[in-house]
Amino acid sequence: MARLPRVFGPDVIYHVMARGNRREAVFLDAQDYTWYLHRLARYRKQYGVTIHAYCLMPNHVHLVVRTGVEPLDRFMQGLQQSYTQQYNRRYEQVGHVFQGRYKALVCDTDEYFVTVVRYVHLNPVRAALVARPSDYPFSTHRAYLAGVATDLVDPTPVLRLIGGVSAYARLVEQGPAPSPPDVQPGSVLEIRPPAPASPGSAPTRRPGPREPLDGALTRLAAHLQTDIEALRGPDRSRTICRARKLAAFVLIRRLGYRVTDVSAALGRDGTTMTIMVGRLGRRLAADPADAQAVARLSKCMEVKA
């Protein structure tokens, strides 16, 4: 039976996975990793692809890429065939190095995009190759901690979504991520241009001791004219969703509570919470109502009731 063609378009973000043939190693030493990265840079430029993340594991590869005007197939064909030829020449063998066709999943939401990048960077930890992702030299985790784009990788879209390098570091510190779910093909995530700096773009940490999180959350709920159970519950109404976002933002960005702790207190996923707070922070400069609400709540929380 003939294989069905893949349907690809421009400006689509994919999580690409390629495994070694028969699950065998595709990188045998540091030189092999270097050769692959050299070819990754070469074909990225040739086909106008943006690399948002990668992790080269001993027997498989993860890439998070955004296509240009050329189909993803052309980029991957050039990259994989070029590396296979080099590998076979070096080790005096013939045949396939990678197993069948690569797998490509569309990152169709901001949340999935962030989840995939975190998953990719934590692969070496999950495989017990290193204790911390920063110890692994063949991924883009260190580029994310640097926070700037290079000739090979652009971490800035994810960093903008979650609120910067510090937020990314906290997200990864949560530990190995579960495998992200498959995504239905056909959806497109458009990367927006960089947003201008805003009053909420950087966390503002309050020094000194703090009251217990539940107490702070209860007081915030009262100031928002709701209650803590409503903020924790499944209510998706506009009023409660806005109150939940404001409470989370003030707790994390103004009072310095950990994302993981606030997420647990509000019964939300840590990744979702990070994205929600980051979005509100970027919106403050253009939304006087939210900016005033954050300022009012922050002032109310300065002195315990």
Mean pLDDT computed over every residue of the chain: 82
Residue range 13-173 in CATH 3.30.830.10: no
pLDDT one-digit tens code per residue, 30-42: 999 999 999 999 9
pLDDT at 303 > cutoff 60: no
Q: How confident is the model at residue 10 (pLDDT cuts 50, 70, 90)?
A: confident
Greater pLDDT, 268 or 179: 268
Lowest mean per-residue pLDDT among 125-139, 201-215, 287-301:
201-215
pTM: 0.60
When pLDDT is averaged across residues 119-127 and rounded to a whole number, the result is: 93
Q: Which amino acid is at 260?
A: T
pLDDT at 224 > cutoff 90: yes
Question: Is 16 in a helix, a strand, or coil?
Answer: strand
Provide the edge-to-edge strand list for the sheet that holds 50-57: 50-57, 60-66, 13-19, 103-106
Q: How confident is the model at residue 5 (pLDDT cuts 50, 70, 90)?
A: very low
Greater pLDDT, 285 or 293: 293
CB 154 within 8 A of CB 208: no
Domains 13-173 and 213-300 in one fold: no
Greater pLDDT, 205 or 147: 147
pLDDT at 104: 92
Instruction: Tell me how far apart the alpha carbons of residues 140 and 119 are, in angstroms, rounded to a whole number.
Output: 12
Q: Which CATH architecture has domain 213-300?
A: Orthogonal Bundle (1.10)
Label the pairing between strands 60-66 and 13-19: antiparallel
Instruction: Tell me how far apart the alpha carbons of residues 116 and 135 are, in angstroms, rounded to a whole number.
Output: 20
Domain edges within the chain: 13-173, 213-300
pLDDT one-digit tens code per residue, 88-108: 998 888 888 998 789 999 887
Please list, residue by residue across 16-43, b when 16 or more beta carbons sit within 10 angstroms of its beta carbon and e when fewer do.
Answer: bebbbeeeeebbeeeebbebbeebbeeb
